Structure 1
């Protein structure tokens, strides 16, 4: 059988190209340490690696969300604890004010302390985050939960010492199909702050109030204070419980992430021993093809005449 020169060159070029492609692919695998460089290398493994990659990306986002949320919940817990401490001081003052032996001057002096604590409660309740959003207004984060002044032009209008936020929660995704509220609301604080403001104004006079005349207002404020403290304390407990849940979720997701990474290594990691054998085979094939091509190319019919 005779082989034309053009056919011979085409066959040799095809052989060289195949061998060089295989050699380059093995070198690429060995340099990256990954067996699957493209879907055609292993279709099933490629699909599983793609799915694991998507799961790992989602897990990473959940972990970031959990980290940010835990920081926010700790901050909220700290603020509510500060709020509770201020209310304990208010309670001490109110218990003192309930003593019938106080003079009108004593009651007026207590008013100044109540005003200072009222301002401290307002400041804490109207706390903002680093971006300037109010923390305890529900989803109305652009307005203070307990405004100190009225604003009839606001939408909806704002009334001083009346809760201006809403009761909605800001849900954060922390797992597949799992969301956790990122905020708490302080709607109960508005009535207390308003009651303290009214009591302080009345105690200051004029005219100055006697201890006996102030007793009904003091008793009503004390009852409202206890109710508000119980509510805030309950919210502090809820924040602690949420942080425990987030810690458990974070630990579980870390275990799943580690499992995914191990599975990815098992599926995609290169066996360097097997790769070295293929590298050697392709190298020999390239060298042999080049030698054969050179030898045959130098042959001539004149050599046999």
Structure 2
């Protein structure tokens, strides 16, 4: 069977194109260092790489959520620490007012600082974040948690206007962390504290009046149990939450390292093997050129 010069040329060009394409593809892989650049290179490895990429993206998002949430919890803790200090100062003053050893002028003098402490509590409870959202109103972030109605009777002017709903942030696969703290119990404390302030500030206050003692004692009990104790528990909870966030962040960091190593094992190019293959393709192309050039010089007369 005879092979025409055109057929021979087409065969040689097809062989050269195939070898050149493989050499170019291998050169591209050597440049990127990745042996899997498309699914056809290694379908199984390509699927594994996509799964690793997806997991890495999710893990990076979780770490970003953790960073944001950590800052928020630290702000919450700082404000609660301030409220706790204020509450402890109020408790000390109420303890002194309840011991029965102070004169009427002394009790009157205590009313002013207690009123200041009460105002500080309201200001701290209605703190906002950098976006203008209230920190301690549950999910009603646009509503001040502690509302004040001056027209209401003393002892009932403060109300909690937020809710007890929690805001949850995803920090891992199926893991969420509460992002907010409420101060719903604070309104009752502030009402009792204000009642004590009004009673102590009365110009006709009687240090020996049992009614006065009842009002001061009620304020002291509320300041202790629903003030100092409750705030201390919330601060402890925030500390535990931040420890959890740190643990999760460490786990995510280790996971990202593991994903990076797995990605290298699955998709990294073996340069020694690739270099040998490239040399083989180059040698094949050189040989094809030489054979083609030699065959172009042959004719039927060479066989006579």
Give the TM-score taking structure 2 as reference length.
0.90
Q: In structure 2, what is the Cα distance between the partners aligned to 1:24 and 1:237?
A: 62
On the 8 A contact 2:59/2:256 being kept in 1, the answer is yes
Report the counterpart of residue 189 of structure 1 in structure 2. 186
**Matched position secondary structure for 2:185:** helix
**Matched position secondary structure for 1:172:** strand
Report the counterpart of residue 156 of structure 1 in structure 2. none
**Matched position secondary structure for 1:35:** coil
On the 8 A contact 2:91/2:223 being kept in 1, the answer is yes
Report the counterpart of residue 226 of structure 1 in structure 2. 224
Q: Deviations over 1:112-149 (max 9, x none)?
A: 11111011111111111111111111100011110235
Tell me which moved more, 105-114 or 81-90. 105-114
The answer on 1:56 being equivalent to 2:53 is no
The answer on 1:123 being equivalent to 2:123 is yes
Structure 1, gaps ≥5 residues long: 152-158
**Matched position secondary structure for 1:131:** coil
**Matched position secondary structure for 1:179:** strand
Q: Deviations over 1:134-192 (max 9, x none)?
A: 111110001111023589xxxxxxx9520011101111111111111011110011111
Aligned 1:136-285 pairs, distance under 5 A: 136-149=136-149, 161-205=158-202, 207-213=203-209, 214-228=212-226, 229-285=228-284
**Matched position secondary structure for 2:160:** coil
Count of matched residue pairs? 297
On the 8 A contact 2:144/2:162 being kept in 1, the answer is yes
Cα displacement (A) at 1:299: 5.6
**Matched position secondary structure for 2:147:** coil
The answer on 1:20 being equivalent to 2:23 is no
**Matched position secondary structure for 1:211:** coil
Cα displacement (A) at 1:32: 0.7
C-alpha RMSD over aligned residues: 2.2
Q: In structure 2, what is the Cα distance between the partners aligned to 1:295 and 1:128?
A: 85
Report the counterpart of residue 9 of structure 1 in structure 2. 9
Q: In structure 2, what is the Cα distance between the partners aligned to 1:61 and 1:170?
A: 18
Cα displacement (A) at 1:11: 1.6
**Matched position secondary structure for 1:169:** coil
Cα displacement (A) at 1:302: 8.7
Give the TM-score taking structure 1 as reference length.
0.90
On the 8 A contact 2:195/2:215 being kept in 1, the answer is no
